[in-house]
Amino acid sequence: MKGPYPGPPTEPMYPEQSVHAHAGVSVGQTVVTPAKHYSPLIPWVEFVAGCFGFHGIGYLLIGKPVRGIIWLVISLVKHAVGAALSVATLGLALGCIVPLNIAIGFFLAMHERQIIHRAAHPTLAKTA
């Protein structure tokens, strides 16, 4: 007997486990990242919320919180200005504010659709 301990085990104590990389897998010199999958309803959520004057909701849903919060703050300022103009013009300013909400909501929804498309197809993204 060599002492109180029998020595190193001849077989591993734990079975071999495979390790999965989630952030990116290095293959040679390039790093391959998995495509992100977003719901195709996010642009629709942005458009509907934008029609009611709440812009930036879609950016929050696709993981761009700074841009989403900036658009929400801009929309709140626009609400305050629009309310003041509506009171001053006895409601006639709503004829400009409502189409503006719809146009901004449509623009942001199309931009978020582009972001989602580029995330789903990273090889099609611009390389500039």
Reply yes or no on whether the pLDDT at 21 is more than 60: no
The verdict on pTM exceeding 0.85 is: no
| pLDDT for the residue 5 | 66
Reply yes or no on whether the pLDDT at 113 is more than 90: yes
| pLDDT for the residue 119 | 86
Structure confidence by residue, pLDDT tens digits, 79-111: 999 999 999 999 999 999 999 999 999 999 999
* Whole-angstrom distance, CA of residue 56 vs CA of residue 69: 7
| pLDDT for the residue 19 | 47
Distances (CA, A) of 54 to 57, 86, 104, 116: 7, 18, 10, 20
